[in-house]
Structure 1
Amino acid sequence: MAIAKADFIEGMAKGMAVLESFDTERQRLNATLAAQRAGITRAAARRHLLTLAHLGYLETDGSYFWLAPKVLRFSGSYLASARLPRLLQPTLNRLSALAGEPVSAVVLDGASVVIVARSGSNAVLAYGLHLGARLPAHATSTGRVLLAAKTKTEFNAWMKGRELPRLTAHTTVDPKALRAIIEQVRADDFCVAQEEHEIGVHALAVPLRNMQGQTVAALNVVTSAQRLEPRTMQRDLLPLLLEAARELRPLL
């Protein structure tokens, strides 16, 4: 959303940039690291870190800072009040029971995808696949489905100057190779990713579209490599995901 320059609060933007600097790679930051990650001066980063700690969103030992439980107020409020997770939950639970595997709904946020809903399955999820988790879009089945939903112009803008971090030995990091994968996902209208984000994680994803044909999220199932063999996947899993996507379309 574009706003007038007079309406833009620069201090708030910098504070949010500092807060967003914390992730799974860097759980603890000092002023120098936060400045580098947020793209602001060290003095500004220090003031924002101290303010956020004073407000209870960060904890500190005097030198380093880390996220405090209070930050969960944001995600908790979103998950409790947002329309999308509430609409998806019953279908995710039913789909998980039919597939016998954990199922998630995911949205795109910049270079990452965010899990906004997941089934109530008792199956053990891989590390990092919890509700609210942020995962790299280029290395996940859901991320590739959501990137494939972009126009070619939008996807080119997303790719411009972007580094593709290697997360496992199987991660696609060559831009040309990723472009080819996205083209294939557009043609197939589903995506399989195996051990590109995390060893042992195999997933199948399909787009969730509204009645206007816009992709608003992606639906995926995490399963074993054996169940993603083409014949087994086409028989057992893909029809379930596609049927769930059709069922949800009028609700989105």
Structure 2
Amino acid sequence: MPQPPSPIAPQDLIAGLAKGLAVLESFDTERQRLNATMAAQRAGITRAAARRHLLTLAHLGYLETDGRQFWLSSKVLRLSGSYLASARLPRLVQPVLHRLAAQTGLSFSCVVRDDSEVVIVARSAVQESGQQVLAHGLHLGSRLPVHATSTGRVLLAALPLTELDAWLEGRELPRMTAHTAVDATALRSLLQQVREQDYCLACEEHELGVQALAVPLRNMGGQTLAALNLVTSRQRLPASAMRAQLLPMLQEAARELRPLL
């Protein structure tokens, strides 16, 4: 799990860099194209500052523009590509995920938490019609709400209670489906269940018709670094079968990886 930002002296903080990254992070699946006004609102800066950052990022090749709106260019993938090439976690878990996918025909992921979201850092492909595809429209770098996913709940359950309390305080939990737990008290109860059973099964809480099973991925010191999960449809496999057939496989994979982390 990513560590919280380390303290920094005010004189060491490059505010311009922080604002530029905030503008870059303003682009997502909901807002794929932004003008200066929208970028300013999303990044929390003035329109004039947003315009300068957008123009600079376009000049550097990270954005493309038609003169009014801006959108991400493929150069942005250099940043994620560098992470995937250099980070130990994705390289260690990828062979295990591919093996599990080959054994079951299902899609497996390794996920870490970034505040209110989980991020897929490794992902297996499944075979359909002789081709490898990624199930349910997910891909490396996909970000999902932490409270509505099996992996997110595994990672939240690993937090010390004081840290969990601080994270939940005043936080609005968006409703993704009619099954999503959006009440803090209800979520606390679910997280306690995850702690007791050491896994999480989430059914149709993020997307209708989709269920996911997750287990914590810990190092030898007992620290939860990430979560391993599988995603499938309710029609393909009932929840009882996921627990009986696939939970032992996920748990064994986590035990296999533990000495390597």
Shorter-chain-normalised TM-score: which range?
Answer: over 0.9
State the partner residue of 2:256. Answer: 247
1:140 matched to 2:149? The reply is: yes
State the partner residue of 1:205. Answer: 214
Q: What is the aligned residue count? A: 251
- Cα distance in 2 for partners of 1:60, 1:195 equals 38
| Range that drifts further, 4-13 or 56-65 | 56-65
- Counterpart residue identity of residue 118, structure 2: V
- Cα distance in 2 for partners of 1:222, 1:28 equals 30
State the partner residue of 1:33. Answer: 38
State the partner residue of 1:184. Answer: 193
State the partner residue of 1:196. Answer: 205
Q: 2:9 aligns with which of 4, 8, 28?
A: 4
TM-score normalized by the length of structure 2: 0.91
1:172 matched to 2:181? The reply is: yes
Q: CA deviation at 1:127?
A: 4.2
State the partner residue of 2:160. Answer: 151
Contact 1:126–1:201 (8 Å) recurs in 2: no
State the partner residue of 2:239. Answer: 229
- Cα distance in 2 for partners of 1:216, 1:156 equals 20
Q: 2:225 aligns with which of 193, 216, 233?
A: 216
What SS class does the counterpart of residue 122 from structure 1 fall into? strand
State the partner residue of 2:28. Answer: 23
In the TM superposition, what whole-angstrom CA distance separates every residue of 1:196-231 from its partner, at most 9, and x where no partner exists?
Answer: 22223211000000000000000001123253423x
> Structure 1: which 4+ aligned runs deviate by more than 6 Å?
none
What SS class does the counterpart of residue 98 from structure 2 fall into? helix
Which 5+ residue runs of structure 2 have no aligned equivalent?
Answer: 1-5
- Counterpart residue identity of residue 20, structure 1: E
1:104 matched to 2:109? The reply is: yes
In structure 2, do the counterparts of structure 1 residues 197 and 234 end up closer, same or farther at CA, with 3 Å as the change threshold? closer
TM-score normalized by the length of structure 1: 0.94
In the TM superposition, what whole-angstrom CA distance separates every residue of 1:101-138 from its partner, at most 9, and x where no partner exists?
Answer: 11000000111111111123325434441111111111
State the partner residue of 1:46. Answer: 51
- Counterpart residue identity of residue 218, structure 1: A
- Cα distance in 2 for partners of 1:161, 1:38 equals 21
Q: CA deviation at 1:238?
A: 0.5
Q: How does 1:124-139 map to 2 (within 5 A)?
A: 124-139=133-148
Contact 2:64–2:73 (8 Å) recurs in 1: yes
In the TM superposition, what whole-angstrom CA distance separates every residue of 1:10-33 from its partner, at most 9, and x where no partner exists?
Answer: 000000011111111111111121
State the partner residue of 1:92. Answer: 97
- Cα distance in 2 for partners of 1:88, 1:120 equals 13
In structure 2, do the counterparts of structure 1 residues 126 and 175 end up closer, same or farther at CA, with 3 Å as the change threshold? farther
Percent identity at matched positions? 72
Contact 1:209–1:245 (8 Å) recurs in 2: yes
In the TM superposition, what whole-angstrom CA distance separates every residue of 1:167-186 from its partner, at most 9, and x where no partner exists?
Answer: 22322222222222111111
Contact 1:145–1:206 (8 Å) recurs in 2: yes
